[in-house]
Structure formats: C-alpha cells, structure tokens
Amino acid sequence: MRVVILIGSLISLWGTVQSEPVFAQTQESLQAQKINIAGRQRMLTQRLAKAACFIATFSDVERHRKILLESIQMINDNHKALLYGDSRNAIPAERNRSIQTELLQMNDVWEMMDFGARLLGESASLPGLGADLIAHYNLIALEKTEHLVRLMEMAYAETDEMQEGNVRALNVAARQRMLIQKAVKEFCLITYGVDAQKNKSNLAQTVHLFDDSVEDLRSGDPQQGIAAVPTQDIRNKLSEIKMEWQFPRGILLAVASGFQARGSDFEKIANSNEQLLEQADQMVEMLVDYYRNAPTTNMPVPEG
C-alpha cells in the first residue's frame, strides 16, 4: 500500500514539475536574451518595410511577400514573449514597470503594422494602402523599439549582473541587424520616389553608422561606453561581416550620392542583404551564448 502511495506521489510530483515552466538561466543570460529579442524587433520593423517597398516596386514579389509575412509574425510573437514571457524558451514575463509600460504602449503601432502587412500580403500584385501604411508606421515603430532597447540598457546596467559596457556592446551588435535592413529600405524608397532627398541623406548616415559600429565593436569605445567584443571568434565574425558589407556598401553609397539604381542592383542588394543579416544574427547569438556560458560577468577585452 505504501509503495502504491509513494508511486502516486512521485507521478503527481512529476506532473507538477512538467507543467511549471522552469527559468533556470542566470539573470545575466536572461537580460542578454531580452535585449537580443528587443533588438530583433528593431530590425524586423525595417525588414518589414524593406519587403513592402520591394513588393511595391514589383521586385521579386513572391520572395518579399514571404519575408513580409514572416517578419510580421515574428514581430507579434516577440512582442508577446517580451511582455508575457515564453515558457518554451525559458523567458519570464517582464517585471520592470517602465519596460512593461513601454511594451503596452506599442500595441497600437504593432496593430497598424500588422493590418498593413496582412493587407499587402493578400494583395501583393496590387500594392497600395498596405504599402503606404507600412511606409508610415515603420519609422514610428522603429523609434519606439529604439526607446525600448534604451530602457532595457539602463535597467539592466543598473543591476550587478551585466556591466554597462557589455550591455551597450550587445545593443550595438543587435542594432547592426537593423541598419542592414534600414539601408536597403532607404535604397528602395529612393528608387520608388518616396522622399528621395531625405532618404538619400538617411541612407548615407545609415551606411556610415554601420561602418563606425563595426569598429566600435572590434576595439571598444570608452567615450560611448561600448566594451570590445569578448572573444576572438566574435572578432572573426565581425571581420566576415565587414568583408561581406563592402559589395552592397558601394551600391548603396552610389545611390545615396545621386546615381540611379539599375534593375539588376535590386537583385544583387536583396541577395547580399539576406546573407549579411544571417551573419549579423550569428554574431549577436554568439554574444548571447557568451553571456550564457561565461563563468564570470567580466568580459575580457581582446588585444590588438
């Protein structure tokens, strides 16, 4: 009888353990993951807008329709994960009141972006209102996600878990993904004839910010509070990204300075853009993995 009761108790206990999400990661690892997700949201606003512009210019419509719908789904999933938690990925709901408030205030703009994306996705052969909505709201969404990441920076840098320079470096690395998408969006909008002069200026600034950020990550920048990336493997990944960046960089700067993009440039830029995004995402994941596995919160600064 005691054996039966004991087995029943063990089964009951196992069911409880299985049903309750377990957040076994360190606080530092969770903070790094959340900054990564918020940084990805920032990138996705621009990836969505890039895809919408390529659809509107009838450039490889079906490919960019898939990117459009994939991006808006990821935006919605990430927003829920940041606000309410995600037990599958061991991410608890956000508890910082300021960050919670900022996330809730983003609901309206995400709804408009979602409406525009679904509308454009269903009528990609006849772009109109959907493309216009995304062209308008993507900059509002970008501003809000930038503010969200800054809030996280300040909140997490105040803890004993992540040092301020490390938080800043992770933010800058995550921002690179966004800049890759934003540059191509601006390239497309110039050709499409939307605020051409403004987007030429924006494109030049975006390209140069990307360039500067690569160097800041490699060597660190004490004035901006950016720590150098912690391992040689990540430095090597940065070098790969810098090399991959040179090809689209030339086309982007030419268009920013007034040259007319050719039809073939769209395909070249679209292909290199996806490859660069994959490389940049790998770099950010390497940083997050470093936080997850590092025995100490002190990030070593590579020599050279």
Q: 173-191 pLDDT, tens per residue?
A: 999 999 999 999 999 999 8
Domain annotation covers residue 19: no
Helices vs strands, H then E, count in the chain = 10, 0
Domain annotation covers residue 68: yes
Tens of pLDDT, residues 45-58: 999 999 999 999 88
Q: What are the distances in angstroms from CA 131 to CA 9, 48, 118, 121, 203?
A: 58, 10, 10, 10, 20
pLDDT above 90 for 295: no
Q: DSSP secondary structure string, 34-67?
A: HHHHHHHHHHHHHHHHHHHHHHHTTSSHHHHHHH
What's the number of CA atoms in the CB half-sphere (13 Å) around residue 250? 7
pLDDT above 60 for 232: yes
Domain annotation covers residue 269: yes
Mean pLDDT of 65-79: 97
- Tokens for 176, please give them: 């690179």
Domain annotation covers residue 10: no
The mean pLDDT of the chain is 85
pLDDT above 90 for 203: yes
Domains in the chain, number: 1
Domain annotation covers residue 14: no
Tens of pLDDT, residues 90-120: 888 888 999 999 999 999 999 999 999 999 9
Predicted confidence band of residue 23 (pLDDT cuts 50, 70, 90): very low
For residue 64, give its domain range. Answer: 27-293
Domain annotation covers residue 89: yes
What pTM value is reported for the model?
0.83
Domain annotation covers residue 17: no
pLDDT above 60 for 4: no
Which of the residue ranges 18-32, 82-96, 115-129, 189-203 would you say has the lowest mean pLDDT? 18-32
pLDDT above 90 for 80: yes
Domain annotation covers residue 85: yes
Tens of pLDDT, residues 144-168: 999 999 999 888 776 655 577 788 8
Most confident of 212-216, 264-268, 285-289: 212-216
